[in-house]
Amino acid sequence: MNGFVPNYIEEIKRRLSVVDHISARVPLKKSGKNYKGLCPFHGEKSGSFFVFPQTESYYCFGCHESGDVFTFTMKTEGLEFNEALEMLAKRAGVDLPEREPQIAPDPEIQSQQQLKERLKEINAAAAIYFSHLLLKSNEGQAARDYLAKREVTPKAVELFGLGYALDSWDNLFKHLTAKGRFSPQELVQAGLVGERENGDGYYDRFRGRLIFPIKDRQGQIIAFGGRVLEGAPSDAPKYLNSPQTFLFDKSATLYGFDLARDSIRHSDCAVVVEGYMDVIAAHEAGFSNVVAPLGTALTEKHVVSLKKLTKRIVLALDADYAGQKATLQGIEVLKRGFDSYSVAVPNPKGLIQFEQQLDADIRVAILPTGKDPDEVVRESPDRWKEMIARAVPVVDYTFTSVAASMDLNNARGKSEAVEILIPVILEVRDRIEREHYIQKLARITNTGADLLYAELKRVSRAQYSKPSAEKSRNDNTVSGVDIDTSEETPPRVIQIGARRQLDYEDKLLAFVWRYSKALDNTGQEDKQVSSDDFRKGENRFLYESLIEAKQHGVSLTEVEESFTPEMASYFAQLMEDVNAQPELDPYGEVSLAFQFQLRRLRNSRAMDFVPTLVEMQRNCEELANTGENADGANENMLENEDEIFRQADQLRVEIFNNQPSLSVIFKDSRDR
């Protein structure tokens, strides 16, 4: 690299106070030099969420969430780093540079980008035409009658952009190709028309159907769905979706997601239903956190979109056999899609064992037999609200399904029931609740509880010993990094202004990027770096990109080439020092240097919290001695005195455990 463009990321942080930014969403009170409030990432009453103006960062002593203004925006708004960058740049009044590559762009990349924009134009034009036919044409009367019968209001028709396709073989084709507006081949690529088998012309895919435009998360139309109306041939599929196109991946798209994003984030809950009409009915009734897959079962790609906004998912699928089957499949997909973490659990002998816990709250809404969500919502919105609020945990739903579908009077049925239910019981965190379900399983299978406990222990041990690689997905996406070949190559960066000073976090990230082998599992989990070690939004983005690239076999060069100009500039600054150093031995030296830098960072972080905890302890002692307890904040502090002192003890242990030894490789101020 010859130099750097101005550091837009640092300029945004300089202009946006982390206190002002967070206080717009979380009420904060002054606490010494810092500010505190109720954590937005977990339910609490004590106020363990702290914002530190000096370091422009935040930390929750309850759930241990931490970060900076970028991380906070990404988590609360459900955005990728680049999206958060654009949002915060506008808020800070910082003009980000346009992408102006100083090298000639790849013609193929340019062509693909132009095709994307062209297909969006075609879909927008088709949507306008479909809408006109529904609202204005005589032929659209059947569709209007159907919507009136289903109690769909004009407001909902407009909100979802509903339309009608004439019962004609080539009406849309003629309309869109008139006057050379779009070519036949472009319409084929958009999935709106098909080419006749004999090569003699084209035909409309959607004929005589009510049309549902399908949009991406930004609200741009990428595909269509169509429903048959009365009088359609008996062999016609009830619903028809656009085929896979350059814009549309059915397995990754959720209907209504563009309208539901804000509601899901604010309610901290996503409700998954089965079809178009279910989503429309729910949104009309004010339940705008509802989405639906597009004629497919829930997929892990769907989960990737949902878990950026919430960890609470309610499945509200139809109550028929197909709906129950889809619910069980959806539960398994959600379990695979969400992360798990290890929990230390004492066994009856007082020994500690580790179990895997799902980092999500998955529930199932029990619908009345024979009713779908659309019917329930329209008959009684209050009943729907209550059903969602009273959605049952996965373990209860699975118990009910297993008991109803298996013969528990024979040995094979009992064995299959235990095989299905033991892993589900293992996910129950509360030990008393777990005991309840073990006893319940013992009753319905007429099996000894001791035998079930032994099976629980065996499954727990097997799960904990599974390598994390099994968690990786089989797609080629890197979360947060678009590695699609349509991305432009970032420009060569030019030096303007001074370099910024790198801190311990920056240096650790640069090191693990250059020596990615240092991230290999050494069997000492407490010494391994994690995304929680990176509090700066841009650093966490880079680290998570690195990890997912390794998981999916994507080269780091590909990832680096996908960076925006501002990220490319930041990355160049980050890597300059470490790339200028002599290459380390890939075995001993890399491992030693990695452990030194990680422990140095964690020790420094722990030391940063000492003044805050000391101040909190002093306040507790003063309140206890004086008996002053005038406000709720003081009352909460006294109630959580034990927790504060426990955090202090934990901090001492962390400081001791992460005391770095003198480095023979990296010079430190103590190395004199």
Any idea where the domains of the chain sit in the sequence?
A: 8-92, 108-248, 270-464, 504-657
Q: Please, which residues have CB within 8 angstroms of residue 142's CB and are 6 or more apart in sequence? A: 229, 230, 231
More confident residue, 183 or 653: 183
Rounded Cα distance, 560 and 472, in Å: 21
Query: Which pLDDT score, from 0 to 100, does residue 521 have?
Result: 44
Query: Among 44-48, 516-520, 627-631, which is the least confidently predicted range?
Result: 627-631
- Report the CATH fold assignment for 270-464: Dna Topoisomerase Vi A Subunit; Chain: A, domain 2 (3.40.1360)
Rounded Cα distance, 270 and 261, in Å: 9
More confident residue, 89 or 480: 89
More confident residue, 30 or 471: 30
Query: Which pLDDT score, from 0 to 100, does residue 40 have?
Result: 85
CATH number of 8-92: 3.90.580.10
Rounded Cα distance, 393 and 373, in Å: 19
What mean pLDDT is predicted for residues 248-258?
A: 95
What mean pLDDT is predicted for residues 112-127?
A: 92
- Residue 656, pLDDT > 70, answer no
- Residue 133, pLDDT > 90, answer yes
- Residue 360, pLDDT > 90, answer no
- Residue 464, pLDDT > 80, answer no
Query: Which pLDDT score, from 0 to 100, does residue 220 have?
Result: 94
- Residue 541, pLDDT > 70, answer yes
Q: Which of 93-102, 163-172, 303-312, 482-491 has the largest mean confidence? A: 163-172
- Residue 81, pLDDT > 70, answer yes
Query: Among 337-341, 430-434, 443-447, 619-623, which is the least confidently predicted range?
Result: 619-623
What mean pLDDT is predicted for residues 610-638?
A: 57
Residue type, 659: Q
What's the burial of 417, exposed, middle or buried (CB within 10 Å: 0-12/13-18/19+)? buried
Q: Mean pLDDT for the chain? A: 79
What mean pLDDT is predicted for residues 566-581?
A: 79
Rounded Cα distance, 22 and 300, in Å: 31
- Report the CATH fold assignment for 108-248: DNA primase DNAg catalytic core, N-terminal domain (3.90.980)
Going 449 to 455 to 458 to 461, the CA torsion angle's sign is negative
pTM, two decimal places: 0.63
Query: Among 330-334, 380-384, 470-474, which is the least confidently predicted range?
Result: 470-474
CA-closest candidate to residue 602, choices 525, 532, 522: 532
Q: Please, which residues have CB within 8 angstroms of residue 652's CB and are 6 or more apart in sequence? A: none
What mean pLDDT is predicted for residues 123-140?
A: 97
The yes-or-no answer to whether 8-92 and 270-464 have a common fold is no
Q: What is the dihedral angle through the alpha carbons of 426, 323, 391, 334, rounded to the nearest 10 degrees?
A: 50
- Residue 78, pLDDT > 60, answer yes
- Percent of the chain at pLDDT > 90 equals 34
More confident residue, 478 or 348: 348
pLDDT class of 586 with cuts at 50, 70, 90: low
What mean pLDDT is predicted for residues 74-99?
A: 82
- 3-state secondary structure string across 524-553: CHHHCCCHHHCCCHHHHHHHHHHHHHHHCC
SS3 134: helix
